[in-house]
Structure 1
Amino acid sequence: MTSRSRLEPPWTYVFDGPTSRRGHQMNKLFMSLRETRAREDFLTDEDAYCRRFALSDDQTRAVLERDWRAMLGLGGSIFYVYKLAMVDGLSMQYLGGVFTGMSEAEFKAAMLAGGRTDV
């Protein structure tokens, strides 16, 4: 096993320094959504709000389309991406399901049973 495969197993998303830098503006947008006024502004014109944070075209598309996996691939931190999910009324279990290929109910059941055992 090489050090790369040990550090980056295929089923794990690694949020490291380069990833953090790549997603910095997008994560700033997500963090801003903690404030009521920011959520209102975002929901009024999501595209304009993305431009306010100078997101790349790919990041903007991922946010507007709620492409959760793409957000991670573009440098999103799961903890910050979750702020956007909360704006949409979605749970962490919903995102867990998205990221593991399960439904929200399946993901909840797996966690209640002690976690995933298929990896």
Structure 2
Amino acid sequence: MNPTDTRAYRQIPGTYVFDGEHCRKGYALNMFCKSLDVDGNRATFRADPVGYLDTFRLTDEQRRAVLDRDWLAMLRLGGNIYYTFKLAIFDGLTMQHVGAAMSAEGMSVDEFRAMMIAGGRPVEGNRSIEERSHG
């Protein structure tokens, strides 16, 4: 994070806003994910994930995040949740699976679902980075 960036959303912990900068950063990653809309591409990726990823200009970090299915890293590296979810669907996962996997608490799918039904994460400590620094 750039400490001189004045955009307020940069101060919200765990928030990866898909702005122009993020879009440019994640273009290749998102195009890979979008490619999974096509049945033939899914078959090629299933047969040779590394070889298929070679056809996209992914950074080493993006490639590792895809292969490890590190959902949160994909978002940090420019992934758009709607595109990265295509990879989750490829794996037979639901949005609850991905949400639980991205949780800092390492929640199970059932725990994540219960938290969301109960109203989501608590606001305390999650408002801004500045708020955390003031105790």
Normalization by structure 2: what TM-score?
0.78
2:94 corresponds in structure 1 to: 91
Bigger Rg, which one: 2
Write the distance in 2 (CA, Å) between the matches of 1:108 and 1:4: 34
What's the CA shift for 1:116? Answer: 2.5
Preserved CA contact (<8 Å) 2:9 2:15: no
Is residue 2:103 matched to residue 1:76?
no
Structure 2 stretches lacking a partner, 5+ long: 127-135
Match runs of 1:2-21 below 5 Å: 4=6, 6-8=8-10, 9-21=12-24
Equivalent pairs counted in the alignment come to 118
What's the CA shift for 1:71? Answer: 1.1
Q: Which has the higher contact order (CA 8 A, sep 6+)?
A: 2
**Range that drifts further, 26-35 or 51-60:** 51-60
Pick aligned residue for 1:57 from 50, 56, 60: 60
The runs of 4+ residues in structure 1 deviating greater than 3 Å are 2-5
What's the CA shift for 1:66? Answer: 1.1
Normalization by structure 1: what TM-score?
0.88
Structure 1 stretches lacking a partner, 5+ long: none
What's the CA shift for 1:89? Answer: 0.9
**1:59-84 Cα shifts (integer Å, max 9, x gaps):** 11111111112111111111111100
